[in-house]
Structure 1
Amino acid sequence: MFEHIDFNYLLANYGYWAIFIGCLLEGETILILGGLAAHQHVLEWQQVLIYATLGGMLGDQILFWTGRHFGPRLLPRLHRQQATIDRVSDLIKRYPTASIFGVRFLYGMRLIGPLVIGASRLSPVRFALINLLGAAVWASLFLAAGYWAGGFLEEMLGNLKPYRLPIFIGVIVVGAGVALYRHRRAKTRPARQAAKRAKDKPPSSAA
């Protein structure tokens, strides 16, 4: 099925843009794939890092400005995300700088976090500078993970060129499976927390 696909051509011509768009949206899986491609010298790791950093930063900047202009009207409608909104709001009040830097590393806060930070009226310049630093660190970590995975697989399998497409598809499938699991876990978390609170609540004394 895949023998007619020139995978190296697709990576060389569209790989950087795929990384940029992927990191604009979320990015961890596509960035690991970029690290694998960099290890195989199909892509340059420096350019992967640049495209990933810019994509990750731009995505959060868009969310920040969306929150700044529409947050007061938008956030009250996100009832299912209320626990995350409250958590990010608390982080901003206590650790404003750390919350900007760290929100992209916390699952479930990557999209909501910048919206809430924008709505909090934090300085746009401050957000942009720390956001750039956070995006660069985030991109470096996942790029390094993909590069390391490429070295590990090469030790296991030898020349990876015949296996590149199956490996890339496998990473995407695993990434999608992990994302689905975390999404379902996040959806059931409020019910688990409510059940735990009900269990821990002391019984009311009889009149």
Structure 2
Amino acid sequence: MSDIWDFFQHFFNPRWIFLYFGNTAFFILLAIVFAETGFFIGFFLPGDSLLFTAGIFGKDLCKNFYNVPFFVIILIVAGVAILGNMQGYWLGYKSGNLLYKKKDSFFFKKKHLILAKLFYNKYKTTALIISRFLPMFRSFAPIVAGAIRIDFKKFMIYNVIGALAWTFSIMLSGHYLNKSFPELKNHLEWIILLIVLITTFPIIFKMRKKKKKKIFI
């Protein structure tokens, strides 16, 4: 049992994934990217930090995947992110109303779905681009889009733009920062912590702001 727990603890450490899985790390990356955007249970997966770490280990990824250019690696990841959002849209389209009636569980919190809907109502279809950079909304935005029957063509335009912006910006950041500062690999834990704080701070700030408004009302 302890071995399984140790595995899951390590699983949320992006560096461990790339060092432990070696040649199959790229496929683990693709599976996580798809699950994070394709299913509501994916909101707890380490998407941003994993993409950044993938950028740092970009040379190894290319070597282990038929020596393709790093540009191709990013395009493949972006493609999977697009497919993940399409899966999320389909899930929302088919069972959106049922999800609002679903009871809370370890993997599903109704409040996350409601927050994503409020977020979507505020930013409309551009929410699909913004949400790519916000962990919780990244998982629920496509589901909400499907549930409220957003035009699929319009959905796909913002889906593609969001996926390309997300993957290229984060993976290239890791790639070029590693080129300029090779010692980054020795401080990955702190960098990942910083990424988590940056991506979750807007959500925490927004929620605290709403709570204060309710108190004064």
TM-score (norm 2): 0.65
Structure with higher helix content: 2
CA–CA distance in structure 1, aligned partners of residues 91 and 194 of structure 2: 29
Q: 2:156 aligns with which of 128, 131, 156?
A: 128
Output one character per residue of 1:68-93: Cα deviation in whole Å (capped at 9) or x when no partner.
0100111344542223322213332x
* Counterpart residue type for residue 87 of structure 1: F
Counterpart residue type for residue 15 of structure 1? A
Equivalent position to 1:143, from 155, 158, 171: 171
Which letter does structure 2 place at the counterpart of 1:54?
A: G
Percent identity between matched residues is 17
Asked if structure 2 preserves the Cα contact closer than 8 Å seen for 1:20 and 1:54, the reply is no
* 3-state secondary structure, aligned to 1:122: coil
Look up the SS of the partner of 2:150 in the other structure: coil
Look up the match of 2:120.
88
Note the C-alpha offset of 1:61. 1.2
Give the counterpart letter for 1:102 in structure 2. I
- Indicate how the Cα distance of structure 1 residues 139 and 182 shifts in structure 2: closer, same or farther if over 3 A, else same: closer
Structure 1 residue 24: deviation in Å?
A: 1.7
1:34 aligns with 2:54: yes
Counterpart-to-counterpart distance in 2, 1:171 and 1:126: 38
8 Å Cα contact 1:19-1:51 kept in structure 2: no
Unaligned runs of 5+ in 1: 202-207
> 2:53 corresponds to which letter in structure 1?
L
User: How many residues matched?
Assistant: 178
The alignment partner of 2:138 has SS state of: coil
Matches within 5 A, 1:1-207: 10-11=21-22, 13-26=23-36, 27-38=47-58, 40=59, 42-43=61-62, 44-77=69-102, 78-81=109-112, 82-92=114-124, 96=125, 98-154=126-182, 157=183, 167=186, 171=188, 175=192, 179=196, 190=207, 193-198=210-215, 200-201=216-217
C-alpha root-mean-square deviation of aligned residues, in Å? 3.4
Call closer, same or farther: CA 1:47–1:19 in 2, change over 3 Å: farther
Counterpart in the other structure of 2:40 = none
Change (3 A) 1:182 1:76: farther
Residues 56 and 174, structure 2, Cα contact 8 Å, conserved in 1: yes
Report if aligned partners of 1:101, 1:131 keep a CA contact under 8 Å in 2.
yes
The residue identity in structure 2 corresponding to 1:197 is K
